[in-house]
Amino acid sequence: MSRTHPPAKNERRKVLGAVVVGTTIEWYDFFIYAFMANLVFAQLFFQPAGPAMMQILSLITIGISFLFRPLGAVLAGHFGDKIGRRPMLVLTLLLMGLATTLVGFLPTFEQAGWFAPIFLILLRVLQGISAGGEWGGAVLMAIEHAPTGRRGLFGSFVQAGVPLGMLLATGVLAAIRALFPGDSFLEFGWRIPFFVSILLVVVGYIVRRSVDESPVFLEIKETAHQASAPIKQVFRKYGKVVIFCALVFMANNAIGYMTTGGFVQGMASRPVDATPPGLGFDPVGVQLAAFAGSLSWLAFTFVAGWASDRIGRKKLYLIGWGVLAVCTVPLFLLVQQGVWGVALGTILLGAGLGLTYGAQAAWYAESFPASVRFSGVSIAYAIGAVIGGAFAPTIAQALLQATGSTWAIIGYLLATVVISVIGTLLLKERNDIPLSIDFEKSGRWETWKTGDPVVAEAVSTR
């Protein structure tokens, strides 16, 4: 029999609240940086590189953080499998908040020379390490507390942190741009969203400290069945699973970073005579349009989590890839039509993004056994982010400058969809597989298939 009591409904609600609040704050921090990299960092930190390179360098700093996500995933995965899920959730939140707040205090290139971009990059690296460790812990807290048959829905609350973080970031940025128009935004207004982070982190810290540890980890601790080197075991036993999971995430991350990375907003709101030139639309209107797109993403994230519990993760994903491909094709044609076009384009895109993101937490968690689950999901997510979104805005800008056409960007994004479809077909579906350490020790983990009977004694969270 399971050694831990099933979590009560009240505790499950607290856990879902904690992961949503904390994950939203994490992604708010991450996206505010990406927005500013598209809007002002080229002028503030990289102007000496010249008109042709300063925007590219600014966008590269977005991607640099992704290169350090695997390090964050390794560290958080190792200690998350050894000392618990909850401590790593608190630590990653504090690290992200500190790094984000300090960006707001940085001097510009004019004030500090090359020290300014160097410190900017160092803080972005800390953001990357935090983001690499955050997601895996939030996923396991939600999924390992979830009742069997509702993991997709519970996991979608973790996934909702991304569109909610986007909503918060776009809302704050729209307000700041309205309060600090023109040059005043460039002079000081851009710093305020970074200062806001410290207030959000205090709230997130209080909420996350209030929840109980995952029942699966408590069971692992009681049985002393912790892996001595979880990272090594993940790659030795489940290397293919890590790669397939990463491929599944690739297209969603690449296409999502057209908006979460601020590329669309930057293109739409930069002045026509700027370097690089934009479309010159009202900046506040563009941010509100992106806000509407985030609402669409949020709604379809919950739809996907709920639907995956009923029709299966793989079938839901294959439907989602079709929707995402269809909605990606007209994106830039719509964006060029004005603020209403930005809104319609991002709303359509949000539907495809939500359908290919909401079920990810459940599918990842069900792909790795209890003793190495934190390491497995964290590393797979980090690798998927690197190959997908790390340099997506940079690649998009380079393709635009090289060809003068947004169709080259569309071709690149659709190619990532093809790769993710392949990953989806290769990744094994394990809906409702028992997640407990007892089930892993029984030897049935490797042979279990979706549809096999679930043995009550092997399930720790029902």
Quick: pLDDT tens for 409-420: 999 999 999 999
The DSSP secondary structure of 334-398, one letter per residue, reads: HHTT-HHHHHHHHHHHHHHHHHTTTTHHHHHHTTS-GGGHHHHHHHHHHHHHHHHTTTHHHHHHH
Within 257-356, residue ranges assigned H as helices are 263-269, 283-311, 313-328, 331-335, 339-355
The DSSP secondary structure of 221-238, one letter per residue, reads: HHHT---SSHHHHHHHHH
Query: Given a cut of 80, is residue 67 above it in pLDDT?
Result: yes
Q: Which residue has the tokens 């790094």?
A: 99
**Which residues 6+ apart lie within 8 Å of 335 measured at CB?**
264, 267, 268, 279, 341, 342, 345
Query: Which of 263, 72, 291 has the alpha carbon at shortest distance from 171?
Result: 291
* Highest mean predicted confidence (pLDDT) among 45-49, 74-78, 92-96, 445-449: 45-49
Q: Give the pLDDT mean for 26-36.
A: 89
The answer to whether 124 and 33 have CB atoms below 8 angstroms apart is yes
Lowest mean pLDDT, pick from 9-18, 64-73, 118-127, 254-263: 9-18
SS3 6: coil
What percent of the chain stands above pLDDT 70? 92
Report d(CA 106, CA 428) in Å as an integer.
46
Output the average pLDDT for the chain: 88
Lowest mean pLDDT, pick from 210-219, 233-242, 274-283: 210-219
The answer to whether 198 and 322 have CB atoms below 8 angstroms apart is no
- Dump pLDDT digits (tens) for 308-338: 999 999 999 999 999 999 999 999 999 999 9
Lowest mean pLDDT, pick from 348-352, 380-384, 412-416: 380-384
pTM for this structure?
A: 0.86
**pLDDT the model gives residue 311:** 96
**Which residues 6+ apart lie within 8 Å of 70 measured at CB?**
132, 379, 382, 383, 386
- Dump pLDDT digits (tens) for 139-164: 888 898 888 899 999 999 999 999 99
Q: Which amino acid is at 315?
A: K
Q: 190 vs 94, which has greater pLDDT?
A: 190
Report d(CA 179, CA 196) in Å as an integer.
15
Q: Give the pLDDT mean for 245-270.
A: 93
The DSSP secondary structure of 395-424, one letter per residue, reads: HHHHHHHHHS-THHHHHHHHHHHHHHHHHH
Query: pLDDT grade, residue 6 (50/70/90)?
Result: low
For the chain, the first-to-last Cα distance in angstroms comes to: 12
Query: Given a cut of 80, is residue 344 above it in pLDDT?
Result: yes
Cα dihedral 350, 352, 354, 357 in deg (nearest 10)? -130
Q: Give the pLDDT mean for 23-36.
A: 89
What percent of the chain stands above pLDDT 90? 57
Cα three-residue angle 156-159-164, rounded to 5 degrees: 115
Query: Given a cut of 60, is residue 107 above it in pLDDT?
Result: yes
Domain borders along the chain are 9-212+227-431
Report d(CA 151, CA 145) in Å as an integer.
9
Query: pLDDT grade, residue 221 (50/70/90)?
Result: low
Query: pLDDT grade, residue 23 (50/70/90)?
Result: confident
Q: 105 vs 437, which has greater pLDDT?
A: 105
SS3 14: helix
Report d(CA 341, CA 334) in Å as an integer.
4
Domain boundaries 9-212+227-431, corresponding CATH code = 1.20.1250.20
Within 113-258, residue ranges assigned H as helices are 115-143, 151-159, 161-179, 183-187, 192-209, 215-223, 230-256
Q: Give the pLDDT mean for 106-129.
A: 95
Q: Give the pLDDT mean for 186-192.
A: 95
Q: Give the pLDDT mean for 329-357.
A: 97
